Structure formats: C-alpha cells, structure tokens
Amino acid sequence: MQIDAPAVAIQGETLAEFLRRRRGVATVPAQPRANGGAAEAIWRGGTVSAVDLADAVAVFHGVPRADSHAIAGLPHALDALSRDFLREAYLYPVMRDGHPLLVTADPGHLEPIRAVALALGRAVPLAVLSFEEIEELFERSRPADAPRDEVESETGTDYALSDDIETLQDLARGAPIVRVIDGMLERAIQAGATDIHIETGREELKVRFRVDGHLRAQQTMPRHMAAAVISRVKILAGLDIAERRLPQDGRTNVKVGNTEADLRVAIMPTLYGETAVLRILLKDTRLLDFKRVGLSDRDRDAVVRLLAEPHGIIIVTGPTGSGKTTTLATAISLLNDPARKIVTVEDPVEYQLPGIHQTQIKPAIGLTFATALRSFLRHDPDVIMVGEMRDRETAAIGIQAALTGHLVLTTLHTNSAVDAVVRLVDMGVEPYLIASSLRGVIGQRLVRRLCERCRVPDPKGLTVARDLRARRGGPEATGHNFYAATGCAHCNESGFRGRIGVFEALAVSDDLRDLIRGQPDPRILLQAARAVGMTTMLDDGIEKASHGLTSLDEVMRISG
C-alpha cells in the first residue's frame, strides 16, 4: 500500500535544520536506534523538550497536533496489532467517529506507519503527540491482566511488590528501566544540568533538572515506576536497595556517549516514597582556568599573587552552590607541579586531580577534617586543601599549619570576604592568630549569563548602575551595554544560558592586619579593603552587566 511522505516546511530541509531556522535550536541528536527516526534521535539528544519537539514536528510535516487528553478519551485500536511493535515505534492507533486515526511522534518515520496501514488494509490519517505523551497513553491502556514479563518489564513494578527485593533487582537491571535512566542522564548532560531530581509524589514520579541554578520540570512517569527507577539509581551508586527507611549517599562514574561524568547520589525517604538527587560532575570540563570561571584580570592577578605566597591561609567564601569547589580545584591545578606535595581532605572528593593526594572524610569511623589534618602534618606537605572549616578544632589546626610553613586553602560559608574574619573569631580563633596567618579571602557568587540570541537592550541600566554606585560606592562601570532577559527556544524561554562567577578578592595588607588584631568590625574592614583597591561582588557584577554578560536583576539577586 502506497503511503506518501508528509509535506515538509521547505523541500529538502531536514527537521534539525528546520528547528535551527524557526526556533533557534541547535539540536544535538543522540545516536539513532536501528529502528528509530530523526525526531526520536533529536528528542533523546535532550536539547529540545518533548512538547516543543512535537509542536515543531507537526508544523514541519504539516500533520495536526493532537491533544493528549482528547486522544486518551478515544477507544484505542491496539488489540489488532502488536503492542510491542507499536510501543517501540511510538505509534498509538485510536478510533475516532468510527474511523482509525494513527497518533505518532514522528510522521517522517514512514516504515512503521506503512506497516500499520498494511495491517489495517487502508491508509490512516495521522496526528502528532510527543514521545512522552505516547508513552503515557500506553501506560494508561495497559490491560489489567497483562502478563508481568511483557508489561511490567516496560513500566517498572507495582508498590504491592516493592518488598520483593529480588523482583526489584531484576526490574532495575532490565532493559526498559536502564533505558529510562540512560535517557535521563543523556538529556541532563546535553541540557547542561548540574543536578537531576527524581521525586516520588502521591500520584506520579517527577523528574526535574537544575540548569543554571534553577530547577526545570522535565518529565513525569507513573508512580508505580518509582521503586524500580530509584532501585536502578541505587544499584548504579552501590547502595542498598533493601534499605528504604534511612538516607543513603553514594557515587559512581558513568559514560554517556563520549562524555564521562561523576555522579554523586543522595537518597532520601519521604512521605510517598524515596527521592533521589544526582549531582553531575563532568570530567572533561571541570578543570577551568580563572578567566573561564569569570575572574576579571584585576582579581585574577590578585588571586595569582595570593597563591604565590609560600605559607599562610587562603579562604574561599560563598553559599552552597556558588562554585567554591571549582575555584579551589582551579587553584590547586595551578599550584600542581612535581616540586610540591599537595594533599587534600574533602567531603566529598568531587574533582579527582592527577598528582594530588586526596582524602575523603568518613565521620562514621572517626576520619574527620581535624583528624585528617593532624595526619597530613606528618606527611611533609607543601600545600594543604581543606574542603571546609566547619568547627573550631579544624580552624585551629588549619591556622597552625599555615603558621608553621604550609600554604592552606579552604572554604567558609559566609556572605562576603570580610565576613570570613568575623566567622573565624566566632568559631573561637584568636584574632592575633588570624592576623598572622590569613593571606587573603576570595568571595564569590554565580550569576546567570544572558542568552545572546534573545537579550534586549536595557535603557534604564546605566541609570540604575550609577544609582547603585552612588548609594553603595565602588568604581564606575567601564561599559555601557546593559541588557535585560527575554526568552527564546535556545535558552528554554528563560532568557539565560550558562553561568559566570562574580568575585571579590581581599588581599590582607598590614593595615588590615592591625584592624583584625583588635575586635574586627566587618564594616570597618570593608572600608579599609576598598581603600587598598578591593572591588566587591556588587562592583564586579555591575561591571559584567555593563558589558552585556548578565542582567542587573541577576546582580541584585545575588548581592541583596
């Protein structure tokens, strides 16, 4: 039976070219399956959401875009055909007004469409739904008495079987669940996500990606898939799938296409079941130089001078998720050479650095930051990196190491560089010890980069920046190209794509040491630091906004 190919927007134009031309999306298709089409490869590539892709496919092929709720209300015609074949090809036949209608996610993938028409003995009109919407239709239409090895293997397990550990293990290692997790990881990496949130709710399993610091909803799955999906994550991270009452943490290495990544996995029991968060650390992009991280030439020179000190303590400050670990890893990479012995104690070891002796703390067996630091001092190190100074004991040992000829790098959770001094005093460290050992503090935040494809000029930007400078002090911005966010398909309608750091680098001068030896006041310390040339994170943010790298709204958000 002859089935003609659907029309295309421009004769000879591919779907990928159409998406780039009409929606500004540069697709990164995944390796197509042997029986998959172009649209599925783009969907699995993760650069286009399933809904946006379905909208584009419908326009590209001139096929009506269906409503999933309306289709779900129609009687299906699955019994006359192989359900496995239809599901594999993302085809869902229904009856509308007594006539068959074939719902597809890819009208351009003709072979399976022609096979259905041949089986039905007639040409069948087409309608478009997304890949995820078709998967949901198959799940809703699952026969109540369907054999477990045919249906449950495709969709996971029921909560009634969640106590059967052997069944969970089999399902978690089965091809369908493996494909679910692999596809999730592939889409997250392609989208530039730093975290995957898998959340079990009352009625469904939700997946969200954290991209550029903000969570974005990605997909939902039937609730009964939760046990198998979470079990698969546990198996990857080497965790106990039988333990569902207590939190668990683990890590693993994965390879997605040509990309290698470390995953840090955290499992948490909740009211409706377990949730999982997977932090993604890409091996091929994590060792960045200071310029790519976002340090200005002025601050980069200041930090390089601090790292050239033979001994003392250098602190990186900022809240969780502000890029402190990346800054420390970059600093350690610059210091790394055969003439130095560098040791680190971290929780967890996020960046595996060649030539560096790294230790993961294990509080359960007594291996804490303080105990590791004591041991390090007997190993003749030149540079010591402490993941975080969490208590007085760790701070005291770190400062003692700095006073006895070691260069110590560490982090603190404070709002600004000068607040680090006050925080150490609050932890019980004597001010004179801080003054003698502290060489510098780097404060930082992350702001979202404006999408260059859709940003628009901000006519009020220069006025706002000057008003901020008048009220808060600081240097005049050197640029005048202020922009605001709008949103387009390229940036997923957010107006931003990627992130960049804003910094303040405080080098401790003799005048600052005298102030620290007294009762340090952060306001007086800030005035003294600015007097010797330090620019604040707000100053740095305004400077970056004046060159169109970010918006003033983003700068105000992180600076308060």
Give the residues across from 221 on adjacent strands.
205
Contacts of 8 (CB under 8 A, 6+ apart): 18, 60, 61, 62, 108
Give the residues across from 65 on adjacent strands.
128
> In whole angstroms, what is the distance from residue 47 CA to residue 159 CA?
33
Q: What is the pLDDT of residue 560?
A: 62
> In whole angstroms, what is the distance from residue 505 CA to residue 511 CA?
16
**Cα 432–chain centre separation:** 41
Helix %, strand %, coil % of the chain (to 5): 40, 25, 35
Q: What is the pLDDT of residue 174?
A: 67
> In whole angstroms, what is the distance from residue 244 CA to residue 267 CA?
9
> How many other C-beta atoms can be found within 10 angstroms of the C-beta atom of residue 446?
21
Average pLDDT along the chain, 560 residues, taken 10 residues at a time: 55 78 62 69 73 88 90 84 84 88 91 85 88 83 50 39 61 75 88 91 90 87 88 88 88 79 89 92 63 86 93 93 88 91 86 86 85 89 92 92 94 92 93 95 93 91 82 77 88 86 93 89 90 89 92 84
Q: Are 190 and 45 in contact (CB under 8 A)?
A: yes
Contacts of 421 (CB under 8 A, 6+ apart): 434, 438, 441, 516, 520, 522, 525
Q: What is the pLDDT of residue 24?
A: 62
Q: What is the pLDDT of residue 556?
A: 86
End-to-end, the C-alpha distance of the chain in Å comes to 67
H-state helical runs in 147-220: 152-155, 165-173, 175-191
Q: How far is CA 530 from CA 425, 473, 517, 546, in A?
A: 22, 9, 19, 21
- Report the candidate in 23, 30, 33, 32 with the shortest Cα–Cα distance to residue 54: 23
Contacts of 141 (CB under 8 A, 6+ apart): 76, 78
Q: Are 52 and 134 in contact (CB under 8 A)?
A: no
> How many other C-beta atoms can be found within 10 angstroms of the C-beta atom of residue 257?
12
β pairing state of 312-317 and 438-450: parallel
pTM of the model: 0.64
Q: What is the pLDDT of residue 3?
A: 52
H-state helical runs in 417-505: 419-426, 431-437, 461-472
Evaluate the omega torsion of the peptide bond into residue 363 and state whether it is cis, within 30 degrees of 0: no
Q: Which residue shows structure tokens 């001078």?
A: 305
Which DSSP symbol is given to 31?
P
> In whole angstroms, what is the distance from residue 358 CA to residue 167 CA?
39
Which DSSP symbol is given to 286?
S
> In whole angstroms, what is the distance from residue 161 CA to residue 148 CA?
12
Residue 463 exposed, middle or buried by CB count within 10 Å (0-12, 13-18, 19+): exposed
H-state helical runs in 384-478: 392-403, 419-426, 431-437, 461-472
